[in-house]
Structure 1
Amino acid sequence: MSVDVEALFDAFRQFIGRSSMAPQEFGELFHQSMRAMVKFDYIVVFAYRGNERPIDIYSTFDVDEHVIFVSMYQAGPYLLDPFYHTARAPKPGVWRMRELAPDRFFSSEYYRTYYVQTGLAEEVGFFVPVEAGITIVLSLMRRGETGYFPAQELALLRKADPLVATLVRQYCSGLGHLFDAAVAKQGRGRRKVQLNAADTVWRDLNLTDREAAIIELVLQGHSSESIGLRLNITTGTVKVHRRNVYRKLGISSQTQLLSIYLKKLNEH
């Protein structure tokens, strides 16, 4: 795909001299500039802060697509998303989903149960830390029929990253109030519950900290070998803990494990 220089310059021209910009307008100009550079099917821009529910700033989904990509995602699956964990790190730059995903991600229950519903072939994100604890992720998505981003298009996006990051910090900072408002909406005194919901899910089920850490990694798509390396324990120890958890919970599959996880999250 050749770059539409005229459309690209027109988008950048509209940024010049602006001291502020509404999120929707910023999203539209970002959309216009990216469309001039590469081919994609969707854009979504999320803000992440800690393990709080991500806030959607801009997207190009229709009503039905919004349910899958935003509403369902915010209800709990985001906690198992490689983009969410990278945003929390944070790890600035332009990243493909498959560069960030655990070794068993594409065979994980999260992938089979939730991610496959998106119908995506690939997702590429600009990761931009904007202020203490908050990272903006601007995702470009290609459906299965569109295929992967070619190497030359990915290289072009990475060249554009410094400019995109500068624009995001200029026009998408000061988002803390949106997270605070979301917390307030949950009701007075609920902030601690919202912030720690993911951490308390397995404690509610009487799992030890080590068991909880292992099960979280299992659901994210890590193999026993990968978990062992991350936690500095043997693969055999990982498998023993996993069997113990399944026995405690009275389950025999990762499908049941994910179901319990999402159910408990919704209780918080």
Structure 2
Amino acid sequence: MAITLQDIAWHRTIGNLIEALDAPNFWIALVRQLEHYLPFDSWVILLFSAGRPLVFAESPTEDGGPDPLFQDYLQGLYLLDPFYIASREHPRSGLFRLDDVAPEYFEQTDYFQRYFRLNVVADEVQLNCNLDSERTLCLSLGSRQRFTLEQMGILSLIQSWVMALMRQRLAFEQERSTPPAPPWQQQFEATSQRSDTALTARELEVGRLMLSGCSGKEIARKLDISVETVKVHRKHMYAKLGIKSQSELFAIFLQAQQQT
């Protein structure tokens, strides 16, 4: 069987990445190799768990400083992230596109309008390595353009060696404890200052799912309740918080995260 120049280049790429597994710049080296296969505008490697996401590396901003929008994400907006929610509800390894995990009304949410389309812009894919029942190692790629079917096909083709390298790299990461999840439920209520009666756990969960873009039917399915019960929880929550719209609910949620 004849060996092509592309075969030689591929073997050299894998060899160089294996050699760099214990190097501080491994994640950048991996991302640079991925840029040979498809274009993307932003990237981040993080660990999803029960607490706040743990970031191992991320694409730099133009001025080299921290991205304020991404800091908002780490503070608490990740709780509305379709990829985070999917990793917690159905942890599994593989290649996932935003369309695979986004709820029905995601693009209509304040989270999408005020964070996602400004930070990620148009499309996002993730290569997920499910480590155990609690942890998922993720490589996220964001793009200003929709990823094409051909680009998704290439990612599907190379995902096995990319994910294998991601798993191996984890052994060389400095052991860090996962930041605790913010007490958003308590802050959510305290921020309002309008609720004489505390929100129930179910009302809080309905509110979070609403903000993430889930329809009444999706919330009912996730929580194993009826659509009518979802409406009742929403009505009670709005009354307790003294609000009338989902945008007001998001404003309270966002303010609560900024105070944690």
* TM-score bracket, shorter-length normalisation: 0.7 to 0.9
Aligned-residue RMSD, C-alpha = 2.7
The separation in 1 between residues aligned to 2:20 and 2:68, in whole angstroms, is: 34
Structure 1 residue 19, shift from structure 2 partner: 6.0
Q: Secondary structure at the match of 1:14?
A: helix
1:95-150 residue CA offsets vs partner (Å, 9 max, x unmatched):
1112111111110121122212225211111111346633221112211xxx2111
Distance 1:176 1:82 in 2: 28
C-alpha displacement of 1:259? 1.4
**Aligned positions of 1:36-115 closer than 5 A:** 36-63=36-63, 66-88=66-88, 89-115=90-116
Unaligned 5+ runs, structure 2: 1-5
Structure 2 residue 213 is matched with structure 1 residue 221: yes
CA separation of 1:29 and 1:176: change in aligned 2, threshold 3 A: closer
> Structure 1-normalised TM-score?
0.81
Distance 2:9 2:43 in 1: 17
Contact 1:41 1:140 survives alignment (8 Å):
yes
Partner of 2:222 in structure 1? 230
1:12 matched residue in structure 2: 14
Q: Distance in 2 between matches of 1:174 and 1:134?
A: 17
Cα deviation for residue 55 of structure 1 reads: 2.0
CA shift digits 1:22-58 (9 cap, x unpaired): 2xx1112211221111122222212222132432423
Q: 1:156 aligns with which of 146, 154, 172?
A: 154
Q: What whole-Å deviation, never above 9, does each CA across 1:162-220 have from its counterpart, x for those lacking one? A: 2111101111246583235xx5xxxxxxxxxx335245445656111211111111011
| Paired residue total | 249
Structure 1 stretch displaced more, 97-106 or 133-142: 133-142
Percent of pairs with identical residues: 27
**Stretch of structure 1 that moved more, 247-256 or 197-206:** 197-206
Q: In the alignment, which residue of structure 2 is the partner of 1:191?
A: none
Shift of 1:94: 0.7
- Determine if contact 2:75/2:182 at 8 Å carries over to the other structure: no
Question: Secondary structure of the equivalent of 2:122?
Answer: strand
CA distance in 2, matches of 1:226, 1:82: 13
Deviates more, 1:147-156 or 1:113-122: 113-122
Matched residue, 2:3 = none
Letter in 1 for 2:63: V
Query: Could you tell me whether the CA contact under 8 Å between 1:47 and 1:57 is conserved in 2?
Result: no
- TM score, norm. by length of structure 2: 0.84
Deviation readout 1:234-264 (Å, 9 max, x if unpaired): 2122112101111110111111111111222
Match of 1:189 in 2: none
Larger RCO (alpha carbons 8 Å, 6+ apart): 2
Task: Quote the residue 1:140 is aligned against.
Answer: 141
Unaligned runs of 5+ in 1: 184-193
Q: Which moved more, 1:201-210 or 1:214-223?
A: 201-210
Contact 1:92–1:126 (Cα < 8 Å) also in 2? yes
Whether the 8 Å CA contact 1:68–1:118 is kept in 2: the answer is no
Deviation at 1:83, TM superposition (A): 1.6
